[in-house]
Amino acid sequence: MSELNDLYQEVILEHNKNPRNFREIADANHQADGHNPLCGDALRVYIDLEDGKVKDVAFKGSGCAISKASASMMTQAVKGKSKEEAEVLFEEFQKMVTGNLDIETDENHLGKLKIFAGVLEFPARVKCASLSWHTLHAALNEEETVSTE
Ligand code: FES
Protein backbone atom coordinates (compact mmCIF):
# COMPACT_ATOMS: atom_id res chain seq x y z
CA MET A 1 0.00 0.00 0.00
CA SER A 2 2.88 2.39 0.61
CA GLU A 3 3.81 2.42 -3.09
CA LEU A 4 0.22 3.33 -3.86
CA ASN A 5 0.39 6.04 -1.21
CA ASP A 6 3.53 7.55 -2.73
CA LEU A 7 1.90 7.50 -6.13
CA TYR A 8 -1.22 9.00 -4.61
CA GLN A 9 0.72 11.96 -3.21
CA GLU A 10 2.61 12.49 -6.44
CA VAL A 11 -0.43 12.31 -8.72
CA ILE A 12 -2.57 14.53 -6.50
CA LEU A 13 0.10 17.22 -6.41
CA GLU A 14 0.65 17.08 -10.14
CA HIS A 15 -3.05 17.28 -11.06
CA ASN A 16 -3.62 20.01 -8.48
CA LYS A 17 -0.85 22.08 -10.04
CA ASN A 18 -1.91 21.37 -13.58
CA PRO A 19 -5.60 20.34 -13.62
CA ARG A 20 -6.83 18.87 -16.91
CA ASN A 21 -10.01 20.21 -18.49
CA PHE A 22 -10.19 23.06 -15.98
CA ARG A 23 -12.41 25.37 -18.00
CA GLU A 24 -16.00 26.16 -18.86
CA ILE A 25 -17.84 24.69 -21.81
CA ALA A 26 -20.01 27.57 -22.95
CA ASP A 27 -22.54 25.46 -24.84
CA ALA A 28 -22.50 22.38 -22.59
CA ASN A 29 -25.83 20.58 -22.82
CA HIS A 30 -25.47 19.15 -19.29
CA GLN A 31 -24.07 20.84 -16.22
CA ALA A 32 -24.43 20.75 -12.46
CA ASP A 33 -23.06 22.41 -9.33
CA GLY A 34 -21.59 20.29 -6.58
CA HIS A 35 -21.09 21.46 -3.04
CA ASN A 36 -19.25 20.02 -0.06
CA PRO A 37 -20.97 21.51 3.00
CA LEU A 38 -18.19 20.28 5.28
CA CYS A 39 -15.76 22.82 3.88
CA GLY A 40 -17.86 25.08 1.65
CA ASP A 41 -16.00 24.11 -1.51
CA ALA A 42 -17.96 23.94 -4.72
CA LEU A 43 -17.41 23.08 -8.33
CA ARG A 44 -19.34 22.99 -11.56
CA VAL A 45 -19.11 20.15 -14.06
CA TYR A 46 -19.88 20.75 -17.72
CA ILE A 47 -20.68 17.90 -20.10
CA ASP A 48 -21.27 17.94 -23.80
CA LEU A 49 -23.22 14.75 -24.35
CA GLU A 50 -23.67 13.75 -27.98
CA ASP A 51 -25.33 10.54 -29.19
CA GLY A 52 -25.18 9.21 -25.64
CA LYS A 53 -21.42 9.80 -25.38
CA VAL A 54 -19.38 12.26 -23.36
CA LYS A 55 -17.95 14.28 -26.22
CA ASP A 56 -16.42 16.86 -23.89
CA VAL A 57 -16.29 17.34 -20.14
CA ALA A 58 -14.73 20.03 -17.99
CA PHE A 59 -14.91 21.60 -14.55
CA LYS A 60 -14.42 24.89 -12.75
CA GLY A 61 -14.49 25.80 -9.10
CA SER A 62 -12.58 25.97 -5.89
CA GLY A 63 -11.47 23.12 -3.72
CA CYS A 64 -8.62 21.39 -2.02
CA ALA A 65 -5.88 19.51 -3.86
CA ILE A 66 -7.70 16.19 -3.58
CA SER A 67 -10.98 17.51 -4.97
CA LYS A 68 -9.22 19.27 -7.82
CA ALA A 69 -7.04 16.30 -8.69
CA SER A 70 -10.02 13.98 -8.51
CA ALA A 71 -12.06 16.23 -10.81
CA SER A 72 -9.15 16.50 -13.22
CA MET A 73 -8.72 12.71 -13.42
CA MET A 74 -12.47 12.20 -13.63
CA THR A 75 -12.65 14.33 -16.76
CA GLN A 76 -9.86 12.28 -18.32
CA ALA A 77 -11.54 9.02 -17.35
CA VAL A 78 -15.02 9.76 -18.72
CA LYS A 79 -14.19 11.68 -21.88
CA GLY A 80 -15.28 9.60 -24.87
CA LYS A 81 -17.23 7.15 -22.69
CA SER A 82 -20.93 6.47 -23.02
CA LYS A 83 -23.25 7.83 -20.36
CA GLU A 84 -23.67 4.26 -19.04
CA GLU A 85 -19.91 3.68 -18.86
CA ALA A 86 -19.46 6.98 -17.02
CA GLU A 87 -22.16 5.94 -14.53
CA VAL A 88 -20.41 2.60 -13.96
CA LEU A 89 -17.19 4.48 -13.16
CA PHE A 90 -19.11 6.76 -10.78
CA GLU A 91 -20.51 3.75 -8.94
CA GLU A 92 -17.19 1.92 -8.80
CA PHE A 93 -15.37 5.05 -7.61
CA GLN A 94 -17.96 5.60 -4.87
CA LYS A 95 -17.67 2.02 -3.73
CA MET A 96 -13.87 2.20 -3.71
CA VAL A 97 -13.61 5.38 -1.60
CA THR A 98 -16.20 4.11 0.87
CA GLY A 99 -14.46 0.75 1.30
CA ASN A 100 -17.04 -1.29 -0.59
CA LEU A 101 -14.86 -2.32 -3.50
CA ASP A 102 -11.55 -4.09 -3.19
CA ILE A 103 -9.42 -2.83 -6.05
CA GLU A 104 -7.29 -5.96 -5.98
CA THR A 105 -10.01 -8.59 -6.07
CA ASP A 106 -13.27 -7.01 -7.30
CA GLU A 107 -13.74 -6.55 -11.01
CA ASN A 108 -13.63 -2.86 -11.91
CA HIS A 109 -12.79 -0.39 -14.67
CA LEU A 110 -11.07 2.20 -12.50
CA GLY A 111 -7.56 2.05 -13.99
CA LYS A 112 -5.55 5.08 -12.84
CA LEU A 113 -8.41 6.17 -10.60
CA LYS A 114 -7.38 3.41 -8.22
CA ILE A 115 -4.88 5.74 -6.60
CA PHE A 116 -7.84 7.35 -4.82
CA ALA A 117 -8.20 4.20 -2.75
CA GLY A 118 -5.66 6.10 -0.61
CA VAL A 119 -8.41 8.36 0.79
CA LEU A 120 -9.74 5.40 2.76
CA GLU A 121 -7.01 6.15 5.27
CA PHE A 122 -8.31 9.70 5.64
CA PRO A 123 -12.09 9.48 6.09
CA ALA A 124 -12.52 13.25 6.17
CA ARG A 125 -11.20 13.40 2.60
CA VAL A 126 -13.63 10.92 1.07
CA LYS A 127 -16.05 13.71 0.22
CA CYS A 128 -13.23 15.72 -1.33
CA ALA A 129 -12.45 12.85 -3.68
CA SER A 130 -16.08 12.14 -4.53
CA LEU A 131 -17.36 15.72 -4.97
CA SER A 132 -16.67 15.87 -8.70
CA TRP A 133 -18.11 12.37 -9.25
CA HIS A 134 -21.36 13.27 -7.51
CA THR A 135 -21.50 16.40 -9.62
CA LEU A 136 -20.88 14.43 -12.81
CA HIS A 137 -23.65 12.00 -11.86
CA ALA A 138 -26.02 14.92 -11.20
CA ALA A 139 -25.17 16.55 -14.53
CA LEU A 140 -25.71 13.30 -16.44
CA ASN A 141 -29.12 12.96 -14.80
CA GLU A 142 -30.29 16.52 -15.41
CA GLU A 143 -30.02 17.54 -11.75
CA GLU A 144 -28.75 21.06 -11.29
CA THR A 145 -27.20 20.84 -7.87
CA VAL A 146 -25.85 18.17 -5.59
CA SER A 147 -24.32 18.04 -2.16
CA THR A 148 -21.93 15.41 -0.82
CA GLU A 149 -24.07 15.13 2.32
FE1 FES B 1 -13.21 21.11 0.49
FE2 FES B 1 -11.69 19.05 0.08
S3 FES B 1 -11.54 20.44 1.72
S4 FES B 1 -13.39 19.66 -1.09
The type of residue at 52 is: G
In whole angstroms, what is the distance from residue 149 CA to residue 141 CA? Answer: 18
pLDDT of residue 148: 83
Domain ranges of the chain: 2-141
Question: pLDDT for 133-149, tens place per residue?
Answer: 999 999 999 888 888 87
Q: At what angle do helices 83-97 and 65-78 cross, to 10 degrees?
A: 150
135 lines ligand 1 (CB under 6 A): no
65 lines ligand 1 (CB under 6 A): no
Q: Does 2-141 carry CATH code 3.90.1010.10?
A: yes
Question: Which strands make up the sheet holding 53-62, listed edge to edge?
Answer: 53-62, 41-50, 30-36, 145-147
Question: pLDDT for 40-90, tens place per residue?
Answer: 999 999 999 999 999 999 999 999 999 999 999 999 999 999 999 999 999
Alpha carbons within 13 A on the beta-carbon side of 50: 8
Write the residue with the smallest CA distance to atom 3 of ligand 1: 64
Separation of CA 7 and ligand 1 centre (Å): 20
pTM of this prediction?
A: 0.94
Separation of CA 51 and ligand 1 centre (Å): 34
